[in-house]
Amino acid sequence: MDYFKKQLDLLKTEREEDRKSYQQMTESTSVAERRANGLSWYPIAIRGSEMSRGDYLTVEIERTTHQDIPHQLRFGASAVLFSNHNRKDDHLDGTISYQSGNRLKITLRTDELPDWANDGKLGIDLLFDDNSYDEMQAALKQADALPDKDPSARLVKILTGEMAPAFHTDLPPYTNPALNASQQAAVQKILTANDLAIVHGPPGTGKTTTLVQAIKALIRQDGRQILVVAPSNTAVDLLSEKLSEEGLNVLRVGNPARVSERLMSLTLDSKVSEHPSVKEIKRLKKQANEFRDMAHKYKRNFGKAEREQRKALFDEARKIMKEVGNTEQYIIDDLITKAQVITATLVGANHYTVKNQRYHTVVIDEAGQALEPACWIPILKGQKVVLAGDHCQLSPTIKSDEAARKGLSTTLLEKCTALYPESVTLLEEQYRMHETIMGYSSRIFYGDKLKAHASVAGHLLFSEDSPLSFVDTAGCGFDEKLEGTSTTNPEEAVFLFKHLTQLVASLGTYYQPKDFPTVAVISPYKQQIQLLKEQLQHSPTLLPYADKISVNTIDSFQGQERDIVYISMTRSNTENNIGFLSDTRRMNVAMTRARKKLVVIGDSGTLSGFGFYASFISYAESKNAYQSAWEFMDI
């Protein structure tokens, strides 16, 4: 089918670009550079090892220094254990099977550690993530070749636009006093849909709350197990926790990003460790490791008899591990059968423990940030899909401009929303923003349908404050500069912190430091963020509030909120060139993070050449929220 051929081509283009940028980052770089880029842990110490499934060895590792550097080593990722004495020859590939804080476990394709592992200078490097691409590619090929008798065949035809979705019309109306009218309508749509329901959740409208109640209602409806997935571990964690709080039996497949006790108790590892049959596994593993340790004693003095004895001991250890594998599988099958909800990332839905599970309903949250090829992994396990998200916020990160341009950046959520408006429910009431902050976003992105709940519609930092401010730097000579590939505007950064300092001083009469409002300072440009972070360090009057002020890119704030948000627009030039400020979805995310006050600082001369910003400036003027930076020049 041409539909999937096109997706396969786009995925191939993306994979090649991703691999190319990975190679550029790793091939000629030192271990210190790889560590700085989040691709390595070095140095590390081995804290223990044990035999695991097959002829594999699981090694526990601790990062002993540079512990504050953010990294990309995650559960399920391919990685390599290496010796920096001789990186070319001394390395072993494996898969990260657990990661938390500064510890991880890596399962290596060997039954014993090589001699070089005792000589120090060890590290872990992240390998290129072929596994995710392989899973996505396999799902697209499977969808393309799906026989008509397959339970998912009808769903595939609907999602590719060949058939229209259907609904039961005979169900009684769903009522839940804890939900507002549009949230109840969304749950009703999910219950009545035969194949497809879409929850369009703008910022602050309670999408997660709605989904959790819908999943509860689905389980009440027919008792069938549900698969709940999302593109990020953080989104999966949030849903897992909320579903568990509602009393559902949740099984979290994979390794949570947030290490809370509640979440850990939902994981397969934790549930296995509490299973009555686990004593038998511990006994067998101990025995297998004893045989392995005995075999290691024969390592140094080798003759024929010793070699045979060593082999016999390893064979015995393997035989016991096979028994361990069978007992583990029995426990896992038992736990999976009892779970009401299985939660995982999109790729994690194919984890070996649940690979062959089928479900009636699959729920995909944050579908606006999910690559379409990844969505097909869980979809092919179900007959009905619920897509939840907001295609008016950030789309997935795509490395290849060509793949994005040719359609990879268009998500399944976006396509289905356009194809089947009858499947969509828009959540219309938001619980985050003052109505003036919400107003522009509602008009441009949501057909003016959003309303602010009474509890937030008029909330302010203090009674005389204004919720919105556009501070115009036109004519101030705040010119942008190019730093490498990123744009900066040093004068705008200095001005922003002067403005914030003044605001913080005026808030001092209303708030104690401990209940001080939270502040986000955001910009689309990474280099501008660096300048803003430096400015914060050089603002002594703000330091007492440093734990209340976060400075970061817009993308890193998706899904979050703060009392006060400052946006540094950064662009200021005579050519009206606004670069990727033209991605209005990113701006929608930025403008909807603020609860009580939004301050946008930018050059109207540069911005108003683009309709979206010209209209925003007019909106600010209509709300008496336009100010010139000149008014603040003496501060």
pLDDT in tens, 402-436: 999 999 999 999 999 999 999 999 999 999 999 99
For the chain, give the mean pLDDT: 92
Helix ranges (H only) for 145-249 are 153-159, 181-192, 207-222, 233-245
> What are the residues whose beta carbons fall under 8 Å from the beta carbon of 360, sequence distance 6 or more?
222, 224, 226, 382, 383, 384
Please say if the pLDDT value at position 299 is more than 70: no
pLDDT in tens, 303-331: 777 778 888 888 888 888 888 888 888 99
Nearest to 428 by CA among 185, 177, 176, 173: 185
Q: What pLDDT is recorded for position 29?
A: 86
- How many Cα atoms within 13 Å fall on the side-chain side of residue 270? 16
Maximum separation of any 2 CA atoms in the chain, in Å: 92
Q: Which of 110-119, 333-342, 509-518 shows the lowest per-residue confidence on average (mean pLDDT)?
A: 110-119
Helix, strand, or coil (residue 226): strand
Residues 538-546: contacts with CB under 8 Å, at least 24 apart: 539/497, 539/500, 539/501, 541/501, 541/504, 541/505, 542/497, 542/500, 542/501, 542/504, 544/513, 545/504, 545/513, 545/516, 545/519
> What are the residues whose beta carbons fall under 8 Å from the beta carbon of 379, sequence distance 6 or more?
139, 143, 152, 155, 156, 159, 362, 364, 385
DSSP 8-state class, residue 626? E
Helix ranges (H only) for 422-573 are 435-445, 454-457, 490-507, 526-537
pLDDT in tens, 339-385: 999 999 999 999 988 999 999 999 999 999 999 999 999 999 999 99
Please say if the pLDDT value at position 111 is more than 80: no
Percent of the chain residues past pLDDT 90, beyond the cut:
72
* Torsion angle of the four alpha carbons 90, 93, 98, 103, in this order, in degrees rounded to the nearest 10: 20
pLDDT in tens, 246-275: 999 999 998 887 767 888 899 998 998 898
Q: What pLDDT is recorded for position 301?
A: 61
Contact call for residues 209 and 198 (beta carbons, < 8 A): no
Q: What pLDDT is recorded for position 113?
A: 87
| Cα 571 to Cα 489: distance, rounded to the nearest angstrom | 7
- Confidence at 300, pLDDT banded by 50, 70, 90: low
Q: What pLDDT is recorded for position 532?
A: 96
- Confidence at 483, pLDDT banded by 50, 70, 90: confident
Please say if the pLDDT value at position 70 is more than 80: yes
pLDDT in tens, 53-68: 766 889 999 999 999 8
Q: What pLDDT is recorded for position 16?
A: 97
Q: What pLDDT is recorded for position 77?
A: 87
Most confident of 254-263, 293-302, 540-549, 562-571: 562-571
Q: What's the mean pLDDT in 99-114? A: 88
Percent of the chain residues past pLDDT 70, beyond the cut:
98
Report residue 300 as tokens.
């140094």
DSSP 8-state class, residue 117? G
- Confidence at 223, pLDDT banded by 50, 70, 90: very high
Q: Looking up tokens 């976003």, which residue turns up?
A: 441
pLDDT in tens, 528-538: 999 999 999 99
Contact call for residues 61 and 44 (beta carbons, < 8 A): yes
Q: What pLDDT is recorded for position 325?
A: 83
Q: What pLDDT is recorded for position 28?
A: 80
Q: What pLDDT is recorded for position 424?
A: 98
Q: What pLDDT is recorded for position 306?
A: 78
Burial of 495 per CB tally in 10 Å (0-12, 13-18, 19+): buried
| Cα 472 to Cα 474: distance, rounded to the nearest angstrom | 6
Please say if the pLDDT value at position 635 is more than 60: no
DSSP 8-state class, residue 173? P
| Cα 359 to Cα 337: distance, rounded to the nearest angstrom | 12
pLDDT in tens, 445-479: 999 999 999 999 999 999 999 999 999 999 999 99
